Amino acid sequence: MRESTIMKIHYGTALAAVALVAVHILMRLTMNYAESLEYENVLANYKFIPYAIMLELILILLSVHGFNGLRVILLELKQGRMYEKAVSYGCLAGMIGLIAYGSRTIIMTNMGMV
């Protein structure tokens, strides 16, 4: 993938994440902070589908942004075809693993497994 495309993905995920995290913070300000962390309120948040979708989008955006940034940093340290492939596939695997594990919480809560 070309460097300009990679940086566009990086900038796009950053802007989208900032917007969604701002909405997330504003929604948390609708009630007392300590009250918003109570177990019942946290479960209610995960069961409210639009909010759960927003949390999933934040998870995906921040994972893509973070692992893409890590990939760029690691590629600046060393060059070589095999190294670049290993870094790219390793970051992709890490990103998929993080998204899968984070999604698990939302899915389990919505299915009543928690």
Q: What is the overall mean pLDDT for the chain?
A: 92
Domains of the chain: 3-111 (1.20.1300)
Q: How far is CA 34 from CA 5, 6, 15, 30, 106, in A?
A: 42, 40, 29, 12, 21
In the chain, the N- to C-terminal Cα span, in Å, equals 41
- What is the distance between the alpha carbons of residues 93 and 99, in angstroms, rounded to a whole number? 10
Q: Over the stretch 66-102, which tens digit does the pLDDT of each residue have? A: 999 999 999 999 989 999 999 999 999 999 999 999 9
28-35 mean pLDDT:
87
- Check residue 2 and give its pLDDT: 75
- What is the distance between the alpha carbons of residues 106 and 114, in angstroms, rounded to a whole number? 10
Is residue 103's pLDDT more than 90? Answer: yes
> From the CB of residue 60, how many other CB atoms can be counted at a distance below 10 Å?
18
- Check residue 1 and give its pLDDT: 66
Is residue 36's pLDDT more than 90? Answer: no
Percent of the chain with pLDDT over 90: 71
